[in-house]
């Protein structure tokens, strides 16, 4: 009879997992599109932000010789370098595919495959986790779907390595295994395999697994009493030692290099969890990446944008309803038997205690020392200096609620499915809840549509390749940055440098040594002042900084050419002749005020994206003030719209806490100016949407770049030009 039960349970498990895989395939198609799996499709990764860093870290790493630590990268963010862990390039995958690099195509990405692996393993460990829920096969299948369609997993597209939520489910499943059935040795082996893998995926996930390892040992030693106290301390020490050893081998820890593991203590308390996070579907004004419309649960405010993303722990409306149903059932009917069943499931009443304690610790850490509800801080307490330094290493504390999040989902499902003796009723309940859940989070599921296209840098690739091939190093000025003529335009040059196996001093990394950064920048400046120019280095800058090299050029010690909006400079002693010839004329830059004055008899429509006040000149502010503008009220990252017609300010809107919008119908009159065509203008500052829109006759004309986006019309409302001034960085026209 027991063999029959084993076969039945095996068949049930395989059936649930098989149909869950079908569910994963459907989700993957809708959420990502299968184009993400094409290894040579890097187009979707090269748009800037974190994705580009993940790919570039791998691209540099694959073409460099093996070093120690194994994950180190030398040529990216040169001369400081980085590590595949700090570019979030998933060390586990990077090490594997580096071994295969000689036979791989030039453009090769494994990030799409990694997403698929994560969703498949999420389904696998969810199936294992719900295997003992007292419900029928349909109920167990639906329970698995709650884990696959987890909102906190679906929003993690920006951080591929952190998509490995299966690590958490695996640790929870292992903790709940019955040692009498599986044996302590097998359970510990399972746990150490997960710990080993997590160390090669991401430090945050590794810490979660390490915590589960320690509470598993506590359960075995002090509750189940199946290992001695000496073995408890020995295995705990080995777990910690192996974790730190693996981090050292990968390069996360470097005892000879003092990395800044946080933002000078800035992060902890900022990237935290809000008390409303479980019921907050996200706030579109905080983070458009995870925003979507809700008709039932209102979007709630949070303390800051960073908290809105890293502290995102929304359960979903279906799971919230299930949780409410569970609590009402327990209170009204007081089903002690249900709780007893849960306690029995984890071996004994006391076995829950370590799980509850670590959940409490994770929750307190996730909320941080700034306890906030909505956009208000309720309680704030100080931390000792040693805590600040320690916590800054794991500053995104909101992530620490993830293990508690999945434990909550499992607990709700366990109690609901075990509450009713009639399994059909409990199954109908969770099916209804799941339908509501899918409807609620459907905008998250439909969030991405990855395009399959060939990536071509928006610069003269062949010319730049030739230049990079002819020099040993590429030095940008200012160095160690990521934004020059455009936001994240470093990506295109880093890509070419990686393919040519040349060091380049640009990039974006998660952790670095800020003292070394300052030393390098100071040395760079001194070398310019002392006319110490390396003959084997090509120097690249943008028009705003060209004057920094004017003395060297005037003395005929440097030659230059102008290419794609960048100055390419090199020592005269190098005897180098650029592919497109020399340039001996400095490119003149038009200031914001000059541009306004030039168009004083035209109509100017201005819309801000991101941030526009940092370098906004007093000259421009005075000009606007003479037009009775309130531009001085615009704050950092605020939203701003204005319309100027024939030296007259006819419209202006400012909001420092929300986006602003103006719609003007055709043939209407504003301050004596007849509006010939319909106009729609939107401005959303960095924290309230981060975009600009200027539509004339329903045609989008805004450059939608950081700073002031301006559309110039003649008096008949014909479009003359559309421009951008990145006044966060400078006052010059951004033509590039």
Q: 276 forms bridges with which residues in the sheet?
A: none
- With a CB cutoff of 8 Å and minimum separation 6, the contacts of 545 are 477, 478
- What's the confidence (pLDDT) of residue 48? 74
Structure tokens at 599: 């168009």
Tell me the sheet residues that pair with 655: 639
Helix axes 352-367, 203-218, angle to 10 degrees: 150
Please count the other Cβ atoms lying within 10 Å of the Cβ belonging to residue 469: 11
DSSP string, 178-214: -HHHH-HHHHHHHHHHHHHHHHTT-HHHHHHHHHHHH
User: What's the pLDDT score for residue 608?
Assistant: 95
Q: Are 721 and 712 in contact (CB under 8 A)?
A: yes
Measure Cα distances from 137 to 15, 161, 393, 415, 714 in Å. Answer: 9, 32, 43, 17, 69
Planar angle of CA 308, 311, 313, nearest 5 degrees: 105
User: What's the pLDDT score for residue 587?
Assistant: 67
Query: Average pLDDT in the 23-51 region?
Result: 91
Under a CB-based contact definition with an 8 Å cutoff, are residues 532 and 551 in contact? no
Q: What is the pLDDT of residues 680-725, one digit of tens each?
A: 999 998 877 788 999 999 899 999 888 999 999 998 889 999 999 9
pLDDT digits (tens, 9 = 90+) for 267-322: 688 889 999 999 998 744 344 444 444 546 788 888 877 787 889 999 999 999 99
Q: Residue 547: is it exposed, middle or buried by C-beta count within 10 angstroms (0-12/13-18/19+)?
A: exposed
- pLDDT tens digits, 421-467: 778 888 999 999 999 999 998 888 876 778 888 999 999 999 999 99
Backbone phi, psi, residue 507, to 5°: 145, 180
**Three-class secondary structure assignment of 446-508:** CCCCCCCCCCCCCCCHHHHHHHHHCCCEEEEECCCCCCCCCCCCHHHHHHHHHHCCCCECCCC
Q: Is 400 helix (H, G, I), strand (E, B) or coil?
A: helix
Is the pLDDT assigned to residue 264 strictly greater than 60?
A: no
Residue the block writes with tokens 């959940």: 359
pLDDT reported for residue 249: 96
Residue 187: C-alpha distances to residues 111, 172, 205, 215 (Å) = 30, 12, 19, 13
- Per the structure block, which two tokens stand in for 172? 């929870």
> What burial letters (b/e) apply to 85-100, b meaning 16+ CB within 10 Å?
bbbbbbbbbbbebbee
Q: Region 174-199: what's the mean pLDDT?
A: 95
Distance from C-alpha of 142 to C-alpha of 435, rounded to nearest angstrom: 10
Look at residue 288 in the predicted model and tell me its pLDDT: 42
Q: Which tops the pLDDT comparison, 544 or 283? A: 544
Please say if the pLDDT value at position 166 is more than 60. Answer: yes
Block residue for tokens 């701003």:
640
Average pLDDT on 171-187 reads 94
461-501, pLDDT tens digit by residue? 999 999 999 999 999 999 999 988 888 899 999 999 999 99
Query: Please, are residues 216 and 175 in contact by the beta-carbon 8 Å criterion?
Result: yes
Q: Give CA–CA dist 176/355, Å, rounded.
A: 10
**What integer pLDDT is reported at residue 214 of this predicted model?**
97
Overall residue count recorded for the chain in this entry: 736
Strands 691-696 and 72-73: unpaired
Instruction: Compute the distance between CA of residue 194 and CA of residue 206 in angstroms, rounded to an integer.
Output: 9
CA distance 442 to 294: 10
pLDDT for the residue 430: 94
Q: Does the predicted model carry a pTM greater than 0.75?
A: yes
Q: What kind and span of H or E run contains 662?
A: strand 660-664
pLDDT, tens digit (0-9, with 9 covering 90-100), for 59-115:
999 999 999 999 999 999 999 999 999 999 999 999 999 999 999 999 999 999 999
Report percent pLDDT > 90 for the chain: 61
């Amino acid at each position: 009879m027991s063999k029959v039960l084993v076969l039945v349970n095996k068949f049930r498990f395989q059936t649930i997992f098989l149909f869950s895989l079908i569910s994963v395939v459907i989700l993957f198609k809708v959420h990502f599109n299968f184009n993400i799996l094409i290894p040579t499709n890097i187009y979707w990764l090269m748009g800037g932000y974190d994705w580009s860093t993940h790919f570039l870290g791998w691209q540099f790493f694959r073409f460099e010789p093996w070093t120690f630590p194994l994950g180190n990268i030398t040529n990216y963010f040169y001369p400081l370098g980085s590590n595949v862990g700090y570019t979030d390039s998933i060390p586990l995958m990077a090490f594997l595919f580096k071994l295969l690099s000689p036979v791989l195509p030039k453009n090769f990405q494994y990030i799409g495959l990694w997403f698929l692996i994560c969703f498949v393993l999420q389904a696998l460990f969810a199936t294992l986790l719900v295997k003992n829920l007292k419900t029928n096969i349909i109920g167990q299948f639906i329970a698995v779907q709650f884990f696959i369609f987890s909102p906190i997993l679906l929003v993690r597209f920006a951080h591929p390595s952190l998509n490995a939520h299966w690590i958490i489910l695996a640790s929870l499943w292992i903790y709940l295994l019955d040692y009498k059935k599986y044996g302590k040795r097998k359970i510990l082996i399972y746990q150490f395999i997960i710990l080993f893998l997590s160390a090669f995926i991401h430090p945050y996930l590794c810490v979660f697994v390490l915590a589960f390892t320690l509470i598993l040992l506590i359960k075995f030693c002090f509750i189940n009493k199946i290992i001695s106290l000496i073995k408890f301390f020995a295995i705990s020490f080995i777990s910690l030692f192996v974790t730190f050893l693996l981090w050292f081998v990968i390069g996360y820890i470097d005892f000879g290099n003092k990395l800044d593991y946080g933002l000078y203590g800035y992060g902890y308390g900022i990237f935290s969890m809000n008390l409303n996070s479980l019921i907050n579907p996200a706030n579109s004004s905080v983070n458009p990446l995870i925003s979507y419309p809700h008709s039932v649960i209102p979007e709630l405010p949070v303390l800051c944008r960073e908290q809105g993303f890293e502290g995102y722990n929304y359960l979903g409306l279906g799971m919230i309803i299930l949780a409410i149903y569970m609590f009402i059932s327990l209170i009204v009917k007081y089903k002690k038997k249900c709780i007893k069943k849960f306690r029995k499931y984890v071996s004994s009443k006391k076995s829950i205690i370590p799980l509850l304690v670590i959940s409490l610790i994770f929750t307190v850490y996730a909320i941080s020392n700034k306890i906030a509800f909505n956009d208000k801080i309720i309680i704030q307490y100080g931390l000792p200096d040693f805590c600040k330094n320690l916590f800054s290493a794991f500053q995104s504390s909101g992530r620490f609620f993830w293990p508690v999040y999945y434990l909550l989902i499992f607990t709700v499902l366990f109690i609901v499915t075990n509450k009713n003796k009639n399994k059909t009723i409990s199954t109908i309940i969770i099916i209804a809840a799941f339908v509501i859940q899918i409807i609620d989070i459907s905008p998250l599921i439909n969030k991405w549509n990855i395009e399959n296209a060939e990536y071509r840098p928006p610069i003269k690739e062949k010319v730049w390749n030739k230049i990079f091939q002819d020099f040993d190093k590429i030095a940008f000025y200012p160095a160690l940055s990521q934004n020059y003529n455009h936001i994240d335009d470093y990506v295109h040059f880093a890509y070419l440098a990686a393919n040519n196996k040349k060091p380049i001093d640009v990039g974006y990394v998660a952790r670095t040594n800020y003292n070394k950064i300052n030393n390098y920048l100071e040395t760079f400046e001194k070398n310019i002042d002392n006319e110490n120019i390396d003959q084997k280095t090509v120097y690249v800058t943008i028009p705003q900084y060209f004057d920094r090299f004017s003395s060297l050029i005037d003395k005929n010690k440097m030659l230059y050419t102008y290419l794609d909006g960048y100055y390419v400079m090199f020592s005269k002693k190098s005897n180098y002749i650029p592919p497109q010839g020399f340039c001996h004329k400095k490119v003149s830059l038009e200031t914001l005020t000059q541009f306004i004055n030039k168009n004083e008899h035209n109509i100017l429509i201005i819309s801000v994206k991101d941030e526009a006040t940092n370098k906004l000149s007093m000259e421009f502010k005075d000009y606007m003030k003479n037009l009775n503008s309130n531009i001085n009220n615009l704050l950092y990252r605020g939203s701003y719209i204005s319309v100027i017609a024939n030296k007259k300010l006819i419209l202006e809107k400012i909001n420092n806490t929300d986006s602003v919008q103006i719609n003007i119908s055709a043939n209407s009159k504003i301050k004596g100016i007849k509006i010939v065509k319909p106009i729609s203008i939107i401005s959303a500052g960095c924290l309230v949407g981060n975009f600009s829109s200027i539509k004339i006759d329903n045609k989008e004309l805004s450059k939608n770049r950081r700073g002031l986006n301006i559309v110039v019309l003649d008096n008949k409302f014909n479009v003359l030009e559309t421009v951008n001034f990145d006044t966060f960085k400078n006052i010059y026209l951004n033509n590039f």
